[in-house]
Amino acid sequence: MIQREYLFHTFDDLTRIVKEINASDEYKNAAGVLLQLNNPKVDSDDERIVDYINMGLEKARLIGMTAANVSDEEYDNKNNQVELNVTYFFDTALFRFEFDMERTSGFEAGLIISEKLSCMPDAKCIQICHSCGSAIMHPFVREFRHHGLPIFGARAGRNVRAGSTTKVYGSTVHEKGIVGVIFVGKSLHYYMDNCFGFKEVGVEMTVTGTEGDNIITTVNHRPAVEVYSKYLGVKPGSQYMRNTCEFPLVFRRGDCVVARVPSGCREDGAISFTSDVTRGEKFRLSYGTPENLFKIMEKSVKRLSAFKPEAVFLFECANRVRLLKDMAAGDTEKYFDIAPNASMSVGIAEIFITPDRTGGALNSSLVAIGLTEDESAEDEYRSHIEFEDDSEEVSEGEEFIPFMDRILNLLERTSEELTALNTELGEIAYTDRLTRVYNRWELENKLTDVLKMDVANNTNSSLVFMDIDHFKSVNDNYGHDVGDLVLRATVQVIKDNLESSYVFGRWGGEEFICILPETGLEEAAVFAEKLRKAIESNCFVAVQHITMSFGVTISKPEDDSESFVKRADEALYEAKETGRNKVATRE
C-alpha distances in Å from residue 282, one per residue of 251, 350, 385, 412:
6, 21, 20, 20
Q: What is the pLDDT of residue 393?
A: 47
- 405: pLDDT confidence band, cut at 50, 70 and 90? low
* pLDDT over threshold 80, residue 437: yes
439 has pLDDT over 70:
yes
Give pLDDT tens digits for 302-357.
Answer: 999 999 999 999 999 999 888 888 898 888 999 999 999 999 999 989 999 999 98
Task: Give pLDDT tens digits for 62-102.
Answer: 999 999 887 666 666 778 899 999 999 999 999 999 999 99
- From start to end of 255-339, where are the E strands? 256-260, 262-265, 271-273, 282-287, 311-317
| pLDDT interval class at 424 (50, 70, 90) | low
- Provide the angle, in degrees to the nearest 10, between the axes of the packed helices 11-23 and 46-56: 20
Q: Which one is catalytic: 83, 310, 350, 510?
A: 510
Question: How far apart are the C-alpha atoms of 47 and 171, rounded to whole Å?
Answer: 10
How far, in Å, CA of 567 to CA of 586, rounded? 7
Query: Looking at residue 395, what is its pLDDT?
Result: 47
Q: Is pLDDT above 90 for 550?
A: yes
pLDDT band at residue 394 using 50, 70 and 90 as cut-offs: very low
* Each residue's pLDDT tens digit, 357-372: 889 999 999 999 999 9
- Segments making up each domain of the chain, as ranges: 2-195+291-382, 201-287, 395-430, 432-586
The yes-or-no answer on residue 5 being catalytic is no
What are 505-527's pLDDT values in tens digits? Answer: 999 999 999 999 999 999 999 99
Q: Mean per-residue pLDDT for 256-279? A: 92
For range 46-62, the mean pLDDT: 96
Cα gap 307→300, rounded to integer Å: 11
Distance CA 572, CA 107 (A): 43
Q: Is residue 237 pLDDT above 70, yes or no? A: yes
Angle, helices 480-495 vs 521-537, to 10°: value is 130
Note the pLDDT of residue 56.
96
pLDDT of residue 48: 96
> CA–CA separation, 46 vs 157, rounded Å?
15
CATH 3.30.70.20 given to domain 432-586? no
Share of the chain above pLDDT 70, in %: 93
Residues 6+ positions from 350 with CB-CB distance below 8 Å: 152, 153, 154, 155, 315, 316, 317, 361, 362, 363, 365, 366, 367
Q: What's the CA gap between 129 and 361, in Å, rounded?
A: 12
Instruction: Give the pLDDT score at 185.
Output: 95
pLDDT tens, residue by residue, 137-186: 999 999 999 999 999 999 998 877 667 789 999 999 999 999 999 999 99
| φ, ψ of residue 517 in degrees (nearest 5) | -60, 140
Contact of 134 with 275, CB cutoff 8 Å:
yes
Integer-rounded Cα radius of gyration of the chain: 28
- Per DSSP, the residues of 412-476 read HHHHHHHHHHHHHHHHHHHB-TTT-SB-HHHHHHHHHHHHHHHHHHT---EEEEEEETTHHHHHH
- Per-residue pLDDT for 299 more than 90? yes
Q: Mean of the pLDDT values across residues 285-297? A: 90
Average pLDDT on 463-487 reads: 93
Q: What are phi and psi of 421, to 5 degrees?
A: -65, -45
Contact 348, 10 (CB under 8 A): no
More confident residue, 195 or 159: 195
User: Does the pLDDT of residue 136 top 70, yes or no?
Assistant: yes
- Pair 125, 149: CB distance under 8 Å: yes
Give the confidence band of 242 by pLDDT, cuts at 50, 70, 90: confident
**Bridge partners of residue 313, in order along the sequence:** 343, 369
Q: Are 181 and 96 in contact (CB under 8 A)?
A: yes
Burial class (CB in 10 A: 0-12, 13-18, 19+), 417: exposed
Considering only CA atoms, which of 103, 71, 65, 104 is closest in space to residue 85? 65
Of 437, 430, 441, 444, nearest to 564 (Cα)? 444
Per the prediction, the chain carries an average pLDDT of 90
